Each structure stands twice: as C-alpha cells, then as structure tokens.
Amino acid sequence: MTDVEPGNESQIVEFLRWALGEEAPVELIGNGSKRRLGAPVQAAHTLSLRGMTGITLYEPEELVLRALAGTPLRDIETALAEQNQMLAFEPPDWGPLLGEAPKSGTLGGAIGCNLAGPRRVRFGAARDHILGFRAVNGRGESFKSGGRVMKNVTGYDLPKLMAGSMGTLAAMTEITLKVLPRAEKMRTALLFGLDAAAANAALVKALQLPFEVTGAAFLPADIAKASAVDLVRGAGASVTAIRLEGAPESTSDRCTRLRALMREATAAPDEELHGTRSAALWTGIADVAPLLPDPAATILRLSVPPASGAQALLRAQSLCRCKAYLDWGGGAVWLAGNDAAALAAAAQVAVADTGGIVQPICNAPAGLSSPDELARAIKAAFDPKFILNPGRMG
C-alpha cells in the first residue's frame, strides 16, 4: 500500500496522473475521521489531504472564508467565533460515532459528505454554503468552479455537485464558504410525554409558524435519558425540542409565544432551556450522541418528508428492535440496532411509500445503497477509470 500526504495541489496532480496510468484505485481522506461512513473503499493506495491546511482568506465583513481542504474544522470554528460568526450548517462531530477521535474532522470532509446539524431546517446543508472550490479530478486535472458570491452559477452548479460526493469525483484542495453571524441568544422549548405522531405534528407545525425555528427534534424516552442535559435526562418521558435563536428580546418573546401555542395544541407539560444547557442538547443531537453507547451497532439515517418522520420511525421499530429519534423536524430518522440485516430491511420498508432514502452511516450491510445510472455517468465524466474512492457510495 502507498500512503501519500501531499503538501500542495501540484503533488496531488502528479500522484493522480500516476494512479490513472496504472489504473490504481485510491482512497481519498482528510484526517480519516469518516472512513467508516458509508461503504468501505476498495483501494491499495491512500491520498491524505491532512497536510493541506490553513485559512487562505477570511473577510468577516463580507461573510466569506476560504481554506485548504485539510484544515481542521475546529480551527475554522475558532477563527469564526473570534468574529462572532459561524458555519450556519452546523457541521456535526461524528468522530466518536465512527470510532475516531473527537474534533478530528476537516473542512473537506464536512463538504464532501454534505454534513449538516439541526440548523439544516433553517439554513440548509453544507452544499447551500459552498461558494467555490479548487480540485483535482480522476483524470489528474486541476480545475476550479464558483467564486466568492452566491450568484456565480453558469451551467452546472459544480460546488453543489461536489458536496456529498464523498471523494468519488475529485480531490478538493481549497473551498470557499459563506459564513453567517452567530446568534446572540439561544432558547429551546421542551414538550414532555408526547408520542411520536403527536411530536412529529408539533415539530412540523412549529416549522410552519413565523418563529424562525433553528432546530426541531423528538427524543423518545429511552433516547432522552441518554442526554447530557439534566432536565432532558431526568424527564422520565419523551422530549420534543424546538430551538429558537437571535437577539435576546426577540428570542425570549418568540419562545414564550411558541410555548403557549404548543401547550394549547398538545396539552403537554413544557419547559425551556437557556444558554449552555440548550447548546449542549443540540450538540448531542447533531453528534448523534444518544446512539453512541454501543460502537458495534449499525446506524442508519432515513431522509424522508418531515411529516412522514413518525410514520417511518414507528414502522421501522415494528419490524426490527432498534433505537430511534427524529431530527430536522421529522425529516431525519436516526436508527440504531444490532442486527444489521434486519435493520436494513426494516429501514427500506419504512421509506418505501414516503419517497425517502436510506443512508448508511456505520456498520451497515453491503449493498444497502448503490449509485444510479445518472450518478455513474457523472462519476465517469470526472473519473473515467473509477480510481477515486471506489465502492464508497455503493
């Protein structure tokens, strides 16, 4: 096996041209924190971008940041925090979930996997914040796309295509992002004891109301008791959580009005979290912390229409013993179980009439997902010999 850690784009071009000539499969990684995400790569050579680090442009007044793909996310988030700014797509830290060290993710990994935390319900996923990039494709050709503003699309929107491609199209070397101001205050309304269907309806309703919700999740009682937040952990019941952020007075007023409306609609006991405890709750939800205790478990995420979240969750649990919770207002159904084949079969039945998809996260059985003809055609255009991360996406 050959392990290569280039320090610049020219070295990547040279290596991938060699790999193309030899038709030698190559695994692309950053720090390796997401190697277990999706299907395993079948490759004898590894190209790591961990040496490609550094913020190359940051203009806080323009809300634009550019960095090399191997730059640790923690470095980017620290630089943004100093200017009271943030990555609005709230990239989760899945290192521990995937058996790796915490806080080891890179910018390229976050964009390549199109990550998004609970704020996706308001701000979208990583692909909605990428302005441009530089990369080297499977032909060994360096190319770039996009720029420093959102309205830069002519023809194909390559930045959005690269987001979520998981290193199967090209090795991104530099990425330009839109960043946003960090909210001054955060409050989370909690509803206790709702069943999945009632909680899902409450989440969908909250997202439809003019309160600018930035997080909407449902934690069944067995999941809630694993929370790091005392008020959630000690509830002894399911917890439905709805997050609001913004200026102090506005956030407080919106939370008060939202709680009143939800109390009237559900008759559920309610409470709210402030500051540190509110932030801790959503960090745990984003990082899938409630599903962490069993590292051997198979974990899947079902992406469904938000109103179908409870239906998919209950159907999966009726067919297979598993733990589950809802994020993204019901649009993300997280499942964890110890029988990989049974869980995969249950998940596929659960999404069958929703128009949703099953996404393998870790320890999933082979063949759960596979690229369609369009995806293969796109792959061939960027990587004609299929040398980049073969097998990663099924």
Ranges 27-36, 309-318, 319-328, 346-355: which has the least confidence: 27-36
- 42: phi then psi, degrees, rounded to nearest 5: -105, 95
For residue 295, pLDDT over 80 is answered with: no
For residue 152, the model assigns a pLDDT of: 45
Q: Which residues contact 309 (CB under 8 A, 6 or more apart)?
A: 200, 203, 218, 326, 329, 330, 331, 332, 333
Output phi, psi for 103, to 5 deg.
Answer: 55, 35
Across the range 362-367, mean pLDDT stands at 84
pLDDT in tens, 122-166: 999 999 999 999 999 999 999 999 876 544 444 568 888 999 999
Q: Tell me the C-alpha to C-alpha distance, in Å, between residue 124 and each of 60, 127, 183.
A: 21, 8, 16
Give the helix/strand (H/E) hosting 144. strand 142-146
How confident is the prediction for the chain on average, in pLDDT? 93
**What pLDDT does residue 150 have?**
45
- pLDDT above 70: residue 38: yes
Q: Which residues does residue 177 pair with via DSSP β-bridges, in sequence order? A: 65, 130
Q: What is the pLDDT of residue 311?
A: 98
**DSSP letter assigned to residue 331:** T
pLDDT in tens, 184-220: 999 999 999 999 999 999 999 999 999 999 999 999 9
Distance, in Å, from the CA atom of 236 to the CA atom of 297, rounded to the nearest integer, reads: 24
Cβ-count burial of 232 within 10 angstroms (0-12 exposed, 13-18 middle, 19+ buried)? buried
Q: Could you tell me which residue, 39 or 16, shows the higher pLDDT?
A: 16
User: Residue 294's pLDDT is what?
Assistant: 78
pLDDT score at 1: 58
Give me Rg for the CA atoms of the chain: 21
Which of left, alpha, beta for 284 (phi over 0: left; psi -120 to 50: alpha)? Answer: alpha
Residue 154 has what pLDDT? Answer: 45
**pTM of the complete model:** 0.94
Pairing verdict, β 45-48 and 26-29: parallel
> Residue 325 pLDDT more than 60?
yes
Give how far Cα 384 sits from Cα of 72, 353, 372, 376, 377, Å. 30, 35, 16, 10, 9
Say what the pLDDT of residue 40 is.
83
> Hey, which bits of 200-322 come out as E strands?
213-219, 239-246, 270-274, 298-303
3-state secondary structure of 80: helix
**What is residue 2's predicted lDDT score, i.e. its pLDDT?**
74
Residue 351, both tokens: 């999404």
- Please tell me whether residue 268 adopts helix, strand or coil conformation: coil
Residue 316 sits at φ, ψ, to 5 deg, of: -60, -45
Written as one letter, the residue type at 75 is: D
More confident residue, 100 or 257: 257
Distance of alpha carbon 20 from the chain centroid = 31
Q: What is the mean pLDDT of residues 167-179?
A: 96
**Is the pLDDT higher at 290 or at 4?**
4
Tens digit of each residue's pLDDT (9 = 90 or more) over 93-131 = 999 988 889 999 999 999 999 999 999 999 999 999 999
**What pLDDT, in 10s, does the model give residues 9-35?**
999 999 999 999 999 999 999 998 998
Helix (H, G, I), strand (E, B) or coil at 74: helix
